[in-house]
């Protein structure tokens, strides 16, 4: 784990002032460009959740889909996409969360999960934790249990675990 964490730390690219001034964007495309590293990321999540009775992987658009799709396929469990407002075609449930200015919503198909489901919520990165918290609430609205919130990258200096204190949180690399 420590080795993978260090490899990720060295590979993830910082892009200053994207998408707006003051934000340092953590670019995961160099990770995706290395089939060996990408495989190790998916394997690390797979090893962690294989024996936990997980029935679905819930991933957040859009970079979460890259890791979530690969993990669900590897684990042989359903993949559930969570999207921003008005993108999903069928009946949806929705959860709203606070942004720095205003609010945003995430949605999931109403028949995506149900009672008895045990899910891992996965995204590429957790910053304030607002998106992951809203996604966990969607899962719970449909009767599912959230086993863990999982991320490739955790921006620990934004203290996402405070907001997510109700759930176990796991990340492969942390930036302090």
Catalytic residues: 63, 100
Query: At 61, phi and psi to the nearest 5?
Result: -60, 150
What is the nearest approach in angstroms of ligand AMP to the Cβ of residue 114?
25
User: Would you give the DSSP letter of residue 53?
Assistant: T
Q: Is 30 helix (H, G, I), strand (E, B) or coil?
A: helix
Binding site for ligand AMP (CB under 6 A): 23-26, 60, 63, 123-132, 160
Note whether 46 and 74 are within 8 A (CB).
yes
Tokens of 65: 């889909």
Residue number, 60 or 147, with CB nearest to ligand AMP: 60
What is the nearest approach in angstroms of ligand AMP to the Cβ of residue 151?
8
What is the nearest approach in angstroms of ligand AMP to the Cβ of residue 55?
23
Note whether 91 and 110 are within 8 A (CB).
yes
Residue number, 118 or 129, with CB nearest to ligand AMP: 129
Tokens of 130: 């607002």
Burial class (CB in 10 A: 0-12, 13-18, 19+), 133: buried
What residues have CB less than 8 Å from 77, skipping those under 6 apart? 54, 55, 56, 57
Residue number, 72 or 152, with CB nearest to ligand AMP: 152
User: Would you give the DSSP letter of residue 164?
Assistant: T
Residue number, 77 or 136, with CB nearest to ligand AMP: 136
Note whether 173 and 154 are within 8 A (CB).
yes
What is the nearest approach in angstroms of ligand AMP to the Cβ of residue 51?
27
């Amino acid at each position: 784990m420590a080795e993978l964490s260090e490899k990720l730390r060295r590979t993830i690219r910082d892009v200053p002032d994207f998408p707006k001034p003051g934000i340092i964007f953590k670019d995961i495309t160099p990770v995706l460009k290395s089939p060996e590293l990408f495989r190790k990321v998916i394997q690390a999540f797979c090893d962690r959740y294989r024996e936990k009775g997980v029935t679905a992987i819930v991933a957040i658009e859009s970079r979460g889909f890259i890791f979530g799709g690969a993990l669900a396929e590897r684990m042989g469990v359903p993949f559930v996409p969570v999207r921003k407002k008005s993108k999903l075609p069928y009946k949806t449930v929705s959860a709203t969360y606070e942004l720095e200015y205003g609010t945003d919503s995430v949605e999931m198909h109403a028949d995506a999960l149900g009672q008895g489901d045990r899910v891992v919520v996965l995204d590429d990165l957790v910053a304030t934790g607002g998106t992951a918290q809203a996604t966990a609430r969607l899962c719970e609205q449909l009767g599912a249990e959230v086993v863990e919130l999982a991320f490739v990258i955790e921006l620990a200096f934004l203290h996402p675990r405070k907001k997510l204190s109700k759930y176990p949180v796991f990340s492969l690399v942390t930036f302090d």
